[in-house]
Amino acid sequence: MNMEPILFVVSRGLLEHKPRMGAAVWEYLWFIDKVTKDEPDGNGKFNGLVLGGAPVSAATIANDLHEHLNTAKANIKLLEAEGYIVRQRRPNNRCSYVVTNSKKWLLSRRSFKGDTGTENCASTGTGNCTGPVQKTVPVWTENCTSNKEENRDTTVKQHKRPSPSVSPVPRKTKSPKTRLPDDFGISESVRKWAREKGHARLEERLEHFIGYAKANGAMYVDWDQAFQNAIRGDWAKLNGRPNPNTYHESETRAETKEREKRRVM
């Protein structure tokens, strides 16, 4: 799906979207580069069809950008959530993409309208057109930054209004992982959970879990939860094995121990 590269202009207004876009700017530029046609959206703006509306896989984007597939998927999801692109579902679980408020072919549209010295933005008939390939936001958002930003076109000088500052979204602080506490044991909450779920032989499971944690230098954020995972996953391999502390009703405890001893030998 490689195409011959072309040069396209990027407005400085794109820099103001760094708090919202972050590293996804590379996927965004990839989408702009692959816009092959702009179509009117009915509101005086244009939507850019990526590769003419053909399905595009995240693997293709990841390969072109030399990044991990999960990175490409996460950044595409962010661009979609912020309204920079629109994902269109296709048959067989495939997707095509549209760049909202596309301006890649703005200069071509002006040339097609003729050099009258004015801005002719398709159906709007006004001179308030943004410059080539500027930051894009969904056309239905009335209070977005790009709708308030004035144009930076060299042919028409317009007064620039200050753009509102965009505060970065605070990130949640992750709890640090710690090593096994010296006094780690079976808490009441774990015992209650085990009773409700029908798990038994907790002491044996605890002994195995502590041995595993020490041998592997394990570190967890929540040790009770980690122990529950070990019980749930039967790390000690106790499910289906007889409990050596139990004996048959028809024999004494001593007889049970003797029978187990013979079985081992």
Residue 161 is predicted with a pLDDT of 61
- The pTM (predicted TM-score) of the whole model is 0.41
Selection from 21, 14, 27, 113 nearest residue 62 by Cα: 27
Question: From edge to edge, which strands make up the β-sheet containing 94-99?
Answer: 35-40, 46-50, 94-99, 85-90
CA-closest candidate to residue 264, choices 256, 25, 17: 256
8 A C-beta contact, residue 23 and residue 76? no
Domain spans in the chain, listed from the N-terminal domain onward: 12-148, 188-264
Local confidence pLDDT in tens for the 265 residues of the chain: 455 666 766 777 788 888 888 899 999 999 988 888 888 888 888 888 999 889 999 999 999 999 999 999 999 999 999 889 999 988 888 899 999 888 777 767 666 555 444 333 333 333 333 344 444 434 333 333 343 344 444 444 445 566 666 667 777 778 899 999 999 999 999 999 999 999 999 999 999 999 999 999 999 999 999 999 999 999 999 887 776 665 444 445 666 667 677 766 6
Model pLDDT, residue 256 = 64
CA nearest to 193, candidates 227, 218, 217, 143: 227
Is residue 124 within 8 A of residue 44, CB to CB? The reply is yes
Calpha distance 41→124 (Å, rounded)? 11
Distance CA 194, CA 48 (A): 56
Q: What is the fold of 12-148?
A: Arc Repressor Mutant, subunit A (1.10.10)
Structure-token pair, residue 204: 């044996």
- Identify residue 186 by its one-letter amino acid code: I
Candidates 184, 202, 182; CA nearest to 193 is 202
> Integer distance in angstroms from the first to the last C-alpha of the chain?
68
The phi and psi torsions of 232 (rounded to 5 degrees) equal -60, -40
- Which residue in this structure is represented by tokens 């009915």? 42
- Name the DSSP class of 220: B
